[in-house]
Amino acid sequence: MKLSTILATGITLSCLSVNALALTIGFAQVGSESGWRTSFSESVKAEAKKRGIDLKFSDAQQKQENQIKAVRSFIAQGVDAIIIAPVVETGWKPVLREAKRARIPVVIVDRNIQVGDDSLFVTRIASDFSEEGRKAAQWLMDTTQGNCKIVELQGTVGATAAIDRAQGFNDVIGKYPNANIVRSQTGEFTRTKGKEVMESILKAENGGKGVCALWAHNDEMALGGIQAIKEAGLKPGSDILVVSVDGVPDYFKAMADGDANATVELSPHLGGPAFDVIEKYLGGDKNIPKLISTTGDLFTQDTAAAEYQKRRLQ
């Protein structure tokens, strides 16, 4: 018998007994636009399998309308809980109200939502994206003595990770009069678009001469940018410094090869904390903070080879 049916009878369960019951959970994932996203999805699926959770997984291919359709399908199936990794912050209120009416708890992971009513979700589990931007910027200012002409590859327009990483980065460089961003454009968090946009930025910036650094909101776009810098006849990692966020294996390889300089690691392991919250909530414990946040360390070339060896086999 599905847990939601049992709960509807008014029987209360201890947290332990919820663990023991086979939960059915819907997970509306953004897509598979980056290595980090793929690791995140694989980690959630593995964790669900380990816990005996029946996971209904949906890949929205970076389209919010697909995510909303998936959430409506989870509601129609009567799942015990729903996890959403929202592609953008706005447009979620109607479907979250439908989940609330169906008495299905929703947990937000990764990016944020703007709904003005925090009764529509149990909690958000995410990294502090602003802190990631601050760490990346501080490394660049320390490395260049605050004297740097920067080009920026932004993430998906309207996505919390893009908004907050930009804000954190700008807060730091704003303290350095000789550091500024001269070009900024979205590369949509993908390697292909990152390369394409960086090619156009380099053309607009005298072939990249005088550009001190590339700041990318994720490693995938940075790796595309690195390719564009090479094809423009410049050396990424030295002619143009490269700093990013995520900490995917390919980027550690690029740092070990001298083509990139620094990244702030973003853990892809959000499934465990999300399932813990759901089991706690369904077990009757409603004392859950509205934000459970983490942040990662900054990694540079000096440890990249060893870190790559550790990550490439995972």
Q: Which is nearer to ligand GYE, 246 or 276 (CB)?
A: 246
Q: Minimal distance in Å, beta carbon 241 to ligand GYE? A: 19
With left for phi above 0 and alpha for psi between -120 and 50, is residue 208 left, alpha or beta? left
Token pair belonging to 7? 């709960």
Q: CA nearest 59: which of 106, 27, 103? A: 27
Q: Which is nearer to ligand GYE, 186 or 218 (CB)?
A: 218
Q: CA nearest 281: which of 55, 81, 83? A: 81
Please list, residue by residue across 177-199, b when 16 or more beta carbons sit within 10 angstroms of its beta carbon and e when fewer do: eebebebebbbbbbbebbbbbbb
CA 149/CA 229 separation, integer angstroms: 15
Please list, residue by residue across 91-109, b when 16 or more beta carbons sit within 10 angstroms of its beta carbon and e when fewer do: bbeebbeebeeeebbbbbb
Q: Minimal distance in Å, beta carbon 34 to ligand GYE? A: 3
Q: Which is nearer to ligand GYE, 23 or 270 (CB)?
A: 270
Q: Minimal distance in Å, beta carbon 37 to ligand GYE? A: 5
Q: Which is nearer to ligand GYE, 27 or 36 (CB)?
A: 36
Q: Which is nearer to ligand GYE, 183 or 191 (CB)?
A: 191
Token pair belonging to 26? 């819907």
Q: Minimal distance in Å, beta carbon 189 to ligand GYE? A: 3
Q: Minimal distance in Å, beta carbon 60 to ligand GYE? A: 12
Identify the burial level of 220 via C-beta atoms within 10 angstroms of its C-beta, where 0-12 means exposed, 13-18 middle and 19 or more buried.
buried
Q: Minimal distance in Å, beta carbon 95 to ligand GYE? A: 19
Q: Which is nearer to ligand GYE, 80 or 246 (CB)?
A: 246
Q: Minimal distance in Å, beta carbon 188 to ligand GYE? A: 8
Alpha helices in 187-314 (DSSP H): 191-204, 219-231, 249-256, 271-282, 301-312
Q: Which residues lie closer than 8 Å to 276 by C-beta, 6 or more apart?
A: none
Q: Minimal distance in Å, beta carbon 236 to ligand GYE? A: 19
Q: Which is nearer to ligand GYE, 30 or 212 (CB)?
A: 30
Q: Which is nearer to ligand GYE, 75 or 270 (CB)?
A: 270
Binding site for ligand GYE (CB under 6 A): 33-34, 36-37, 110-111, 161, 189, 218, 220, 245-246, 266
CB atoms within 10 A of CB 28: 28
Dihedrals phi, psi of 131, to nearest 5 degrees: -65, -35
